Amino acid sequence: MVLPITQQTFDEAVQENINDLGLSPEEALTEAVAQFKAQGADLSQIITEPGAASAVENLTNAIKKLSEFKDTNISPECLDQIAVLKQMCDKGIQYRVQAGKAGAYDAILDIFLKSEAAKDTKVACLKAMISLMTKQPDLLDGNSEVLKDVLLVLRALILDDDVRVEFGRAHEHARIIASETLSTITGLINKFKADASIINDLMLTLSSLLVRAEFCIKVEETGGVELMQDVMTTFMKNDNVVQTASAGLNCVAALSLRCPENSKALFEAGLPEVIINVMRKHPDEKSVQRPASWAIRNMVSRSRYQNKHFLELGAEELLQKNLAKFKEFEYDTKAALRDLECDVELKEEWTGPGPGKYLLPPLVGYKDHDPSRYRNPQYSMGQKLTRTTDKQISPGPKYYTENMTMYGKVHPRAYSIVSRKKEQARFQGPGPAAYNIQNAPRMKEQRPPAYSISYRHELHKTFETPGPNNYDVPTTIGPKVPDKRANGAFSMSHRYPVTKKEISPGPARYDPISPDNYKNKLPAYSMSIRHKPVAEKGSSPGPSNYYPKLASKGGYSFGLKTDTSPYITPEDEMPCINK
């Protein structure tokens, strides 16, 4: 075990070596260091250099001078003292520890928060604060608001919010921060476990940093699990704690439902103790007691060997209390007691008529006693009918009347005298003589169409839109069929205005170049003089006297029209021809 000592204890030991043993300051310092190391003391935060007492005194004096500027105006001397403090803190952790104990943190912070402080003063304060707090985060423990802000910054640094890269470095940042701060945060949980304003931030930060198994093991070794249980016990009325406990019990109930393998694994992991402990710490929470009953029932329903352990932990007593306290989920509590094989009074949820209340049809008359088939004819036995012979519903024969029916008395037709009807107005149309019936052909014969002359209809107002005859619909005959390509057509349009004649020369002004100058010359005809005719003619036939023919098949030829009857003259009057 490491023995903690203070700077004052070390200085007193050095002074005793000088006074009692008569050693020089250097020898006394070396002897004191050897003695404390032999005793197992931690000297990492102790100034063991020669002149340690004077160094501590100078450091304390500088901090006292800085504290005086809290209520006075800031002067250049303040910057000098801040520079001295920073220079001494840069020497090592032992100087920073002594400066922190002397109140350097509060002195620098008061100067920094002054409104009249200049920019260079604030920069000097920040640099001194960095030197003071390097590897010394314990100075933040005294101010819970600052600690909450620091924890918020730590949680923000491990968010994967950089969209510029394909893979974020949130996990790497969490690993770096966790390796340096897990032990410190666990210690802060122990210190602030009764402070509701900051414990939530500590728990959130710790859960965000546990990204590896070795970090979880490290927290467990430092007592983090016991601290979390103490915090949940201290704030067991907190809504978040109650909600988390309810969610955990619901998860256990879902995992163990009809699955004895999961139930066995949960049982071996010590879940019965956790369930009973949660039920005892939240006795009045319905959202906790009901899922606890589900979890117990699902774990033991198919694993009866767990009943003894649950009963030894006091599950029956807790369930009996819930049975009397919470009537709204009485069924769930009784189900857990039933599967634990405890004495419980079970009641029917609802009662209805028994089977004797239902009259089922008999099997008599069914074919082969099969109710799914049609019934065969059978005799039915009904009740005895009452006699109706004593009562006369209708009149007897003596009351028969021949001329009386249900519609009234029967009698022949008769005339009736009624009032005279009102005379109707005469029709004012033309009489038969006013019509002129023309002779018309018979209906079966053909007749030409007849025109009817009627009065002229009233002219309607013209519409502003063009009528149907204004549209030129292409014909569907020939090449102008809609699904074929139409030939080019000429359109008639208005005459365009005559433009002015151009002053530039026309085509006739240019001398065209002969194509023979830049192309191959085409064959041309040449005209020469007329030759003299040959005086002597040969006696042989010329070429035109020959008419060579090739052998060909017969064909039709067009010639003059010949008389069809060459042997008949027009003077011949024969009945056969004239006809």
Asked whether the predicted pLDDT for residue 244 surpasses 70, the reply is: yes
Residues 66, 54: Cα–Cα separation, whole Å: 19
Q: Is 457 exposed, middle or buried (0-12, 13-18, 19+ CB in 10 A)?
A: exposed
Q: Are 263 and 304 in contact (CB under 8 A)?
A: no
Residues 61, 68: Cα–Cα separation, whole Å: 11
pLDDT of residue 147: 82
Residue percentage of the chain with pLDDT more than 90: 16
Most confident of 131-145, 208-222, 462-476: 208-222
Q: Are 291 and 297 in contact (CB under 8 A)?
A: no
Lowest mean pLDDT among 233-242, 343-352, 398-407, 470-479: 470-479
Q: What is the DSSP letter of 413?
A: -
Asked whether the predicted pLDDT for residue 129 surpasses 70, the reply is: yes
Closest residue by Cα to residue 125 from 93, 89, 155: 89
DSSP assignment string, 451-503: ----PPPPPPPPPSS--GGGS-PPPSSGGG-TTSPPPP-----PPPPPPPPPS
Length of the chain: 579
The phi and psi torsions of 396 (rounded to 5 degrees) equal -80, -175
pLDDT of residue 579: 46
pLDDT of residue 113: 77
Residues 216, 208: Cα–Cα separation, whole Å: 11
Lowest mean pLDDT among 301-315, 332-346, 452-466, 515-529: 452-466
Supply the mean pLDDT for the chain. Answer: 76
pLDDT of residue 512: 72
pLDDT: is 483 or 431 the higher one? Answer: 431
pLDDT of residue 478: 54
439-449 pLDDT, tens digit per residue, is: 656 666 676 77
Give the bridge partners for 404, in sequence order. Answer: 409
Closest residue by Cα to residue 86 from 74, 71, 96: 96
Return all residues near 245 (Cβ < 8 A) that are at least 6 apart.
232, 278, 282, 285, 288
Query: Alpha carbon 212 to chain centroid distance?
Result: 31
Under the banding of pLDDT at 50, 70 and 90, the label for residue 90 is: confident
3-state secondary structure of 332: helix
Residue percentage of the chain with pLDDT more than 70: 67
Asked whether the predicted pLDDT for residue 193 surpasses 50, the reply is: yes
pLDDT of residue 315: 94
Averaged pLDDT, 274-295: 93
Closest residue by Cα to residue 273 from 301, 314, 240: 314
Q: How far is CA 454 from CA 200, 365, 437, 451, 461, in A?
A: 104, 87, 18, 10, 21
Within the chain, which residue ranges are assigned CATH 1.25.10.10? 236-345
Q: How far is CA 197 from CA 133, 233, 241, 395, 525, in A?
A: 24, 16, 15, 105, 121
Return all residues near 279 (Cβ < 8 A) that are at least 6 apart.
288, 289, 292, 318
Single-letter amino acid code for the residue at 555: G
Averaged pLDDT, 207-218: 88
Extract the tokens encoding 82.
Answer: 């801040």
Most confident of 60-74, 388-402, 547-561: 60-74
496-538 pLDDT, tens digit per residue, is: 776 666 666 777 677 777 777 778 877 777 777 777 766 555 5
Asked whether the predicted pLDDT for residue 46 surpasses 70, the reply is: yes
Q: Which fold has domain 236-345?
A: Leucine-rich Repeat Variant (1.25.10)
Under the banding of pLDDT at 50, 70 and 90, the label for residue 158 is: confident
Q: Is 368 exposed, middle or buried (0-12, 13-18, 19+ CB in 10 A)?
A: exposed
pLDDT of residue 225: 85
Q: Are 5 and 46 in contact (CB under 8 A)?
A: yes
Asked whether the predicted pLDDT for residue 11 surpasses 50, the reply is: yes
Under the banding of pLDDT at 50, 70 and 90, the label for residue 257 is: very high
Under the banding of pLDDT at 50, 70 and 90, the label for residue 260 is: very high
Query: Alpha carbon 546 to chain centroid distance?
Result: 103
Closest residue by Cα to residue 82 from 101, 99, 57: 99
Extract the tokens encoding 288.
Answer: 């906790």
